[in-house]
Amino acid sequence: MQNPLQSLTTLSAKKEKQNVCILGATGSIGESTLKVLALHSAHYQVFALSGHGRLDQLAALSARYQPEYVSVPASKGEQFAQDLKQRFPNAKVPNIVEGEAGLKFIAEHSDVDVVMAAIVGAAGLEPTLAAVQAGKRVLLANKEALVMAGSLFMDCVRSSGAMLLPVDSEHNAIFQCLPADYFQTTERFQSHPSRAGVSQILLTASGGPFRQFDLQQLERVTPEQACKHPNWVMGQKISVDSATLMNKGLELIEACHLFDLPAERVTVVVHPQSIIHSLVQYVDGSTLAQMGNPDMCTPIAHALAWPKRIDAGVAPLDLFQVATLNFEKPDEVRFPCLRLAREAMQAGGTTPAVLNAANEVAVAAFLAKTIKFCDIPRIIQAVITQLPMIAARDLATILHYDAAARQIAQKIVQTSV
Ligand code: NAD
Ligand code: MG
């Protein structure tokens, strides 16, 4: 992550109105980002938007926010332009770019100051990396990018001078609780019991909708049940990941890369109320927590304005109403995805990318009702076993392993139909 002092200098040199590019504007994070931006239109303007499915929604966003650029899937540009003109005849028609090249184009455009990386899954990796390489202020929601290519990604942040700010609520919470000199100190956990006084990170998890289900009940759960998260409203894929605890596994890997930590320094704590978003423990016995109502507008506003604080449109926390906070150990027998992710992080190299790809295929098959909920970790385990780890030296190797893992996972899915 960027040295905060360097970031402060960069910020002071910036112009008055920041141009924002939202990758994944039609999703849940995209929607929350637009909500926060609408509160601060004097300081931010929507410069570019991307969407993949639901292009009708993207057209409505384009008519409302009048961006300079809109990025749509390959060969959908003409259809998008026609739809926009037909439904919103008075709206300004933006420049339309297409496909992977279009996403990259808007992510690294020289007029863009801030990139919200909110595409779901591996599809977000290359445009997010393009934004990092172009030295942008990158608000990172797309955790899969870091899971797949963590070391490469963080090396790129360091060499490009990009400012990477975590949007995932847990990582944003940790970022808020870390000491100011955390990124400057020469201490490293590998050779020192603490770093800038920090001894470990406590990553909170809601436990998802099936926290109290036994193994027999878990065998029968449906996608509809999995997508009904008790505390958060999110996209379908992350909702299923939350239900399997793979989301926490991906976040563990994300935390290791963002904060340069070994997996052993991250303890997952199930906290069903989702009020504490994560904690940092110090050598003097202090534990700092960041708390708030479960609303992604808070971490988005924090990442957008840091080191300033701006209104996120979120109601203040009412502790009298919350009254009780509970904590439990995660159960890795019922939820093996958490263990699989930790082991993938410890194995390193291409294994986290393989884990992520196998998970994306398995989750899509579960959402399509082709496999059962408990098949998800079985498939991931089988794919990891078939693809032994090699060093993730470059992006091409990572993408090759991502594709190979998808192919194997698809085969397993097809044989289980
Ligand atoms: P979502 O499914 O609601 O939206 C995903 C967005 O990505 C949409 O705009 C969609 O059009 C776009 N997209 C999907 N596939 C694409 C492809 N192949 N190419 C280009 N664009 C594509 O997802 P979400 O819940 O907003 O999550 C987005 C990311 O943020 C995920 O990585 C998720 O893990 C992370 N995140 C989400 C939340 C949350 O509360 N929703 C919280 C923390 C982190
Ligand atoms: Mg999270």
Residue type, 112: V
Ligand 2 centroid – CA 406 distance (Å)? 24
Q: What percent of the chain has pLDDT over 90?
A: 93
Instruction: Name the segment(s) of the chain with CATH classification 3.40.50.720.
Output: 18-167
Ligand nearest to the CA of 363: 1
With contact defined as beta carbons under 8 Å apart, do 70 and 49 qualify?
yes
Nearest ligand 1 atom, CA 142: 32
The CA dihedral of 333, 337, 342, 344, to the nearest 10 degrees, is: 130
Query: How far from the centroid of its chain's Cα atoms is residue 40's Cα?
Result: 23
Spacing, Cα 125 to ligand 1 middle (Å): 12
CATH of range 18-167; options 3.30.360.10, 3.40.47.10, 3.40.50.720, 3.40.50.2300: 3.40.50.720
Third-level CATH fold of 348-416? Rna Polymerase Sigma Factor; Chain: A (1.10.1740)
Position 230 scores a pLDDT of 84
pLDDT digits (tens, 9 = 90+) for 47-62: 999 999 999 999 999 9
The residue whose C-alpha atom lies closest to atom 4 belonging to ligand 1 is 27
Compute, in angstroms, the gap from residue 140 CA to the centroid of ligand 2: 11
For ligand 1, whether the C-beta of 232 sits within 6 Å is yes
255 CA distance to ligand 2 centroid (A)?
11
Give me the pLDDT at residue 413, please: 98
Indicate if the pLDDT at residue 14 is higher than 70.
Answer: no
Q: Is the pLDDT of residue 208 over 70?
A: yes
Q: Find the 145 Cα to ligand 2 centroid distance in Å.
A: 14
Quick one: tokens of 286? 């202090």
CA 330 to CA 205: how far, in whole Å? 9
296 in ligand 1 pocket by Cβ < 6 Å? yes
Residue 142 Cβ inside 6 Å of ligand 1? The answer reads yes
Question: pLDDT-based confidence at 2, cuts 50/70/90?
Answer: low
In this model, does residue 417 exceed pLDDT 90?
A: no
| C-beta 338 within 6 A of ligand 1 | no
pTM summary value: 0.96
pLDDT of residue 8: 44
